[in-house]
Amino acid sequence: MSTQPGQHDVARCTNNESIYILNHFEALGLSPVITKPLSALGYDTPTPIQREGIPLLLSGQDLMGLAQTGTGKTAAFGLPLVQHLLGIGTKPASRTVRALILAPTRELVNQIAVNMRTFVRPTHLRVTTVVGGSSIGVQIRNLSRGTDILVATPGRLLDLVDRRAVQLETVKFLVLDEADQMLDLGFIHALRKIANLVGTPRQTMLFSATMPKQIADLSRAYLTDPVRIEMTPPGRAADKVRQTVHFVSQRAKSDLLKSCLGERPDDLSLVFSRTKHGAEKLMKHLVASGFSAGSIHGNKSQGQRERAIKAFRSGEIRILVATDVAARGIDIPGVSHVYNYDLPEVAENYIHRIGRTARAGAGGEAIAFCSPDQGKLLRGIEKLMGLGIEVAGGDPSATEDNSPVSEKKPHHRGQGPGGKGRNRQSDRNPRKSSHRKQASGGEIETGNEPQRVFDGDRISEKRDRPANANRPQKGRTGRSTSAKWRARRRRPAA
Ligand code: AMP
C-alpha cells in the first residue's frame, strides 16, 4: 500500500492480483468497522477537516481546529474517538465517562449525539446526553450505567457532578465544540471547572469558528502541544453561499419576504428574527398568508423545538423562523436559503446564520434585509468578513442618516446583481476586526420587557434595559448619536 494518510485521493493496495480501491476514510487510518456505515450516510470522500484532523487525532495528538459548522468537524473528531474507545476493550465503570464532548446548546448536543450514535452503531459503545430542560432523573439513571461517550452542555453537567451522579476523572478524551459560542453564552468558568475535573493524561480537542483571546488562553491552559488546523479563516463566510442584501424599511420587510418565499415555494428557507416575539409574530403572519411555516425560539419548549425541526427537516414545513440561540446546531442539509430578516446585533452571528445553508459542500443563498437603522450592523458584518455584500434591491444610502459609521474606512458595497462589487474580498485581515462587543447568545427582547438570557441550559431574566432602550443613545454632549451624525454630515467640507 503506497499512501500517506490524507495525501492521496485514492489509496490502492494489491492483493492476489486484485486491486482494492480503499474507501478514502480507510486511507486516513480508520478501521473498516468504523468506515463501513459511512457510505450509507453519503460520506464518500472526507472533507478537508477530516483529511487533516483524523490522522492527527488517531496519532493521539491534541488538536485545535478553527472550523465553522458545516465543515464535517463532528466526524473529524468523532470517528477517531470511536476508534480509540474500541481499542480500550472494557466497559466503563458505573458513573464514569470515557469521552466527554461539551457543546453550548441542547440542539447542538442532540445533533452531535445523533452523529455519534450513527458512528457507534456497529459497536458496543454507548452514547449518552445530558442537557438542561430534560429530566435529570433519567440522566442520573443513564449515567449510573457508565458511559463511553457523553455529550453535554456545561451547566447541566456540573449539576450532575455536584449531585455525584457522574465523576470525570476517568475521562480520556475531551472535546470542546463551538468554544467561541460557549464563551458567548457565559460558560467560560464552567469550562475551566470541568477541564480541571477531567483526568490526565487525556487527549483534548477544541473546535471554534473564531479564536477570541479567552479561547486561545483556554486552549493554552488545557491542550498539550496542540496541532492547529484552520479550515476557513475565521470571519469568512462559507465560500459557497451567495450573499445579497435588500435595503428595505422595517415595515416593508414582511411583504418582501413573502415575495421572495413565493418565488421559491419548494425550497427550504430559514428566516432569522432578532426577538422571540418577532419570530412568533412573523411565523403566524406567514402561516396566515398561506405559507407552511414553523418557528423555534427560547419561548418554545424543547419538545416543540424538536417537532418544528423535524417537520422542517422532512419538508413538511418549508419555512422555519428562528432566533439565533434556537437555531444553533441545526444541521439540515437541504436548507437552500437563509433570510436575515433582522440583521444580527453581533456580526459573528451572521456567519453562523448563513452557515446553516451550503452544508457539506452544497451551494446556498443568504439574503439580508437591512432597514434604515441597521446600516451600522451591516457595515460591521462586511468589515468582519472583509467583503462587500451584493445589493439586490433598495437604496443603500437610505441607511446613512440613522447609522453613524466609522469615518476612517470607505464602505465597500457591491454594485447590484452581477455588478463589479459582488463579494469583493478586501485586503483587510478579517481576524483583526473580529472583536466581540457583547454576548451573542441571548435573545433580545424589545421594549421594557425583561431580557431573557439563554445559557444553554436555562433561561434567566435580566431587567436592565430602560424603557427608551430603542431610542438613539445619547453621548456625552446630551445629543443623540444620530442627531450628532446628521449635524456632522450637514457641516460643509473644510
Ligand atoms: P458538521 O460540520 O459536523 O456539522 O457536518 C455538517 C454536515 O456535513 C452534516 O450533515 C454531516 O452529516 C455532513 N458530512 C460530514 N462529513 C461528510 C462527508 N465526508 N461527506 C458528506 N457529508 C458529510
pLDDT of residue 333: 74
Confidence of residue 166 (pLDDT cuts 50, 70, 90): very high
Pocket probe mutation, ligand 1, options 74, 77, 115, max atoms within 8 Å of Cβ? 74
How many angstroms separate the Cα of 155 from the Cα of each of 20, 23, 48, 198, 332? 48, 40, 32, 15, 26
The predicted model gives 393-403 an average pLDDT of: 66
Supply the mean pLDDT for the chain.
76
CA 78 to ligand 1 center in whole angstroms: 11
CA 403 to ligand 1 center in whole angstroms: 39
Q: Whose CA is nearest to atom 1 of ligand 1?
A: 72
pLDDT of residue 45: 86
Torsion of CA 285, 289, 293, 299, to 10 degrees: 10
Q: State the closest ligand 1 atom to the C-alpha of 333, by its place in the atom list counted from 1.
A: 10
Flag whether pLDDT at 149 surpasses 90: yes
The predicted model gives 166-186 an average pLDDT of: 90
pLDDT of residue 326: 63
Q: Whose CA is nearest to atom 18 of ligand 1?
A: 43
Q: Whose CA is nearest to atom 15 of ligand 1?
A: 72
Q: Are 302 and 133 in contact (CB under 8 A)?
A: yes
Q: State the closest ligand 1 atom to the C-alpha of 115, by its place in the atom list counted from 1.
A: 12
According to CATH, the topology of domain 8-230 is Rossmann fold (3.40.50)
Confidence of residue 420 (pLDDT cuts 50, 70, 90): very low
CA 61 to ligand 1 center in whole angstroms: 22
CA 313 to ligand 1 center in whole angstroms: 15
Write the burial class of residue 411 (CB in 10 Å: 0-12 exposed, 13-18 middle, 19+ buried): middle
The predicted model gives 3-19 an average pLDDT of: 33
pLDDT of residue 156: 95
CA 71 to ligand 1 center in whole angstroms: 6
pLDDT of residue 106: 86
Q: State the closest ligand 1 atom to the C-alpha of 45, by its place in the atom list counted from 1.
A: 19
Query: What share of the chain has pLDDT > 90, as a percent?
Result: 44
pLDDT of residue 238: 54
Flag whether pLDDT at 341 surpasses 90: yes
Pocket probe mutation, ligand 1, options 26, 38, 43, max atoms within 8 Å of Cβ? 43
Which residues does a 6 A CB cutoff place in the pocket of ligand 1? 42-43, 45-47, 50, 69-75, 331, 333, 359-360
Q: State the closest ligand 1 atom to the C-alpha of 41, by its place in the atom list counted from 1.
A: 12
pLDDT of residue 328: 65
Pocket probe mutation, ligand 1, options 9, 28, 38, 41, max atoms within 8 Å of Cβ? 41
Q: Whose CA is nearest to atom 11 of ligand 1?
A: 72
Q: State the closest ligand 1 atom to the C-alpha of 331, by its place in the atom list counted from 1.
A: 10
pLDDT of residue 68: 72
Q: Tell me which of 462 and 385 has the higher pLDDT.
A: 385
CA 206 to ligand 1 center in whole angstroms: 18
Architecture field, domain 241-402:
3-Layer(aba) Sandwich (3.40)
Task: Supply the pTM of this predicted model.
Answer: 0.57
Q: Are 343 and 375 in contact (CB under 8 A)?
A: no
Listed in order, the ranges of the chain carrying CATH 3.40.50.300 are 8-230, 241-402
pLDDT of residue 18: 34
How many angstroms separate the Cα of 77 from the Cα of each of 40, 49, 62, 113, 308? 19, 9, 11, 13, 28
* Burial readout 45-73 (b: 16 or more C-beta within 10 A, e: otherwise): ebbebbbbbbbbbbeebbbbbbbbbbbbb
Q: Which residue has the cell 467640507?
A: 493
Backbone phi and psi for residue 427, each to the nearest 5 degrees, phi listed first: -75, -20
CA 2 to ligand 1 center in whole angstroms: 27
